[in-house]
Structure 1
Amino acid sequence: MGLSFPYPPAREDGFWAPVTSTINWCEEDYYATIYSAEIVNSLTNLLFVFLGIKGIRSCLKYKHDSVFLVAFIGYLLVGSGSFAFHSTLIYPMQLVDELSMIYTACLMCYATFSFSRSKTTRRILGTGLLSMAIFITLYYHYLQDPTFHQNAFALIAAVVLFRSMYVMEVNIRPSLRAKYATVARKTVDPAMSKSERLAIERRDRAILNEMWLMVVIGLSIFLGGFGMWALDNQYCSLVRVWRRKIGLPWGILLEGHGWWHLMTGIGAYFYLVWGIWLRHCLNERQDEYELGWPGYFSVPEVIPRSHTSNGRHTGKANGHSRYEERKSV
């Protein structure tokens, strides 16, 4: 395949040796440098670091709800922990990697279920989720079975995802809002004209369509990463043979766990931005913020409308026509 050179042999005497983690991956150990056990699996986590810093900066600059600032800090810790784990393959770093995923998922669970609830309900929910996170930590450390961690994370993530979809539909879609809304509307004006009500409904349907597009793209990328991870595990011995036949640097493209990091990093980032945008819509601030998303090959960001040129949308339409301003309601 054009210019390539052979893979160096794997080693067992790396800087962080011996391997003490309960799981190892398909990338061969210490073949590139003695200072990183899995160089590709380590470096692909830098996308988490980049997007995590981007998300933290956005939350601070644009004053998004603090729960999302904490969530992006957790997202950054997931990438940093994974970088440390794959660089060292030692058990403490494995715990940092895997348990930060659980804690961040629990945090998003709290953000999803606590909104508009009473202080007592939020305290009960927070205590319950904290107790669950502690239980998972202790039981996982006792079992040291990666399957338990994977199933626990998948279950929490699925609950958060489906709950967010439900909240989005019943609170934004005009045909469902009156009957099933979980959040009371604050800005309903009895004197509002029919044309103004129709304008709001058009705005909300446009927002909903764009949110579903974000969900489909983000979830597809995330599940695609899961597929790469599964194939990497299932056919590891064969993939290693292929990589050595192809040689470096092209063999790097067959590092399935590295693709898992890249794709799940993007998918999780999409979910967090979707959560920010959904929260602003639930707070009825659709006319103060917009979704900046220039194209499908860029990452979205929720920004105040005051930061866009003349109050117009700079990316995809979200909320109402990009060419005309809706009347103030």
Structure 2
Amino acid sequence: MADTIASFWGPVTSTTECCENNYAHSSYIAEFFNTISNIPCILLALLGLINALRQRFEKRFSVLHLSNMALAIGSMLYHATLQHVQQQSDETPMVWEMLLYLYILYSPDWHYRTTMPIFLFLYGVVFAVFHSFFRFGIGFKAHYVILCLLCIPRTYKYYIYTEDLSAKRIAKLYVATLVLGSLCWLGDRFFCKEISTWPINPQGHALWHFFMGFNSYFANTFLMFCRAQQRGWKPKIVCLMGVLPYVKIEKLKRK
């Protein structure tokens, strides 16, 4: 989209732009709505981190919430500047986050406890190096989709083996926010010309950020519940102020 006022960050160097006028509200923020729409993800990840630390969940979940925060901050930097370096600060953490999800999903049944984290860590480092040099475009998107698809079989297995209705509801909310967010992203990506003629831009990419912030929170909450069940911690789903669900451990068995 064309600039409307002076640009603090200089010419756009990112390989992807969204359907939002650049620098329409501030000379310091290229895509205003796409930038601030990451704030809910940061706040939700912070709540998840506090709960994970307070109830002494395994460190993997604290790292997971921190990775959600890092991804949202990277996305803010990218959309605020539309510079290629900041674009990679958004895309690379996306891959790292999916590798972490793969570890959390599959590690309980992995017989060799050190091989999986070492492999995934090295994979993440190698990807970051190659992505910084070769600037993957379609390849990055295809790679990210494959990583997401690898998570589906295990997530579905957790769902069908979970009897708690509240936990199943969270899994359904995860799917619902993913579908809604994806529809917003697709609309913003492929129907920008039509949307630009509307009196009001619905800011589909910003809505994608909003829904995906909740999507990540629901995914993390569901995985924390499943892991607590595996550890025999008798978890239950309660709601913060009657609205936001989180996992509460009734009895923690120490070994």
TM-score, normalised via structure 1 length:
0.71
Unaligned runs of 5+ residues in structure 2 are: none
- Given that residues 277 and 302 in structure 1 are in contact (C-alpha distance below 8 angstroms), is that contact kept between their aligned partners in structure 2? yes
1:101 equivalent to 2:94? Answer yes
Within the candidate set 34, 37, 50, 1:41 is matched to: 34
Q: Which residue of 1 aligns with 2:55?
A: 62
Q: Within 5 Å, give how 1:189-268 maps onto structure 2.
A: 205=163, 207=164, 209-242=165-198, 246=199, 251=200, 254-268=202-216
1:30 equivalent to 2:32? Answer no
Q: 1:151 to 1:300 in 2, by over 3 A?
A: farther
Aligned residues: 250
Structure 1 moving runs of 4+ over 6 Å: none
1: CA distance between counterparts of 2:22 and 2:83?
12
Within the candidate set 228, 236, 242, 1:280 is matched to: 228
After superposition, the C-alpha distances for 1:18-68 in whole angstroms (9 at most, x for unaligned) are 111111111110011101000000000001111111111111111112100
Unaligned runs of 5+ residues in structure 1 are: 1-8, 173-204, 307-329
One-letter amino acid matched to 2:213: G
- Given that residues 23 and 30 in structure 2 are in contact (C-alpha distance below 8 angstroms), is that contact kept between their aligned partners in structure 1? yes
1: CA distance between counterparts of 2:190 and 2:114?
43
1: CA distance between counterparts of 2:243 and 2:146?
29
Q: Over aligned residues, Cα RMSD in angstroms?
A: 2.1
2: CA distance between counterparts of 1:99 and 1:298?
32
Within the candidate set 131, 145, 152, 1:140 is matched to: 131
2: CA distance between counterparts of 1:130 and 1:114?
14
Within the candidate set 217, 224, 231, 1:269 is matched to: 217
Q: Which residue of 2 aligns with 1:129?
A: 120
Q: Which residue of 1 aligns with 2:249?
A: 304
One-letter amino acid matched to 2:7: G
TM-superposed CA distance for 1:263, in Å, is 0.7
Within the candidate set 78, 82, 85, 1:85 is matched to: 78
Q: Which residue of 2 aligns with 1:292?
A: 238
One-letter amino acid matched to 1:151: A
TM-superposed CA distance for 1:132, in Å, is 2.5
Q: 1:162 to 1:255 in 2, by over 3 A?
A: same
1: CA distance between counterparts of 2:204 and 2:191?
10
- Given that residues 222 and 266 in structure 1 are in contact (C-alpha distance below 8 angstroms), is that contact kept between their aligned partners in structure 2? no
Q: 1:52 to 1:294 in 2, by over 3 A?
A: closer
- Given that residues 8 and 28 in structure 2 are in contact (C-alpha distance below 8 angstroms), is that contact kept between their aligned partners in structure 1? yes
TM-superposed CA distance for 1:87, in Å, is 0.3
After superposition, the C-alpha distances for 1:137-193 in whole angstroms (9 at most, x for unaligned) are 2343344233222222222122223213214535x5xxxxxxxxxxxxxxxxxxxxx
Of all paired residues, the percent bearing the same amino acid is 20
Q: 1:146 to 1:211 in 2, by over 3 A?
A: farther
One-letter amino acid matched to 2:173: I
One-letter amino acid matched to 1:239: I
One-letter amino acid matched to 2:233: R
Q: 1:149 to 1:50 in 2, by over 3 A?
A: same
SS in structure 1 of the partner of residue 74 of structure 2: helix
2: CA distance between counterparts of 1:105 and 1:61?
25
2: CA distance between counterparts of 1:41 and 1:146?
20
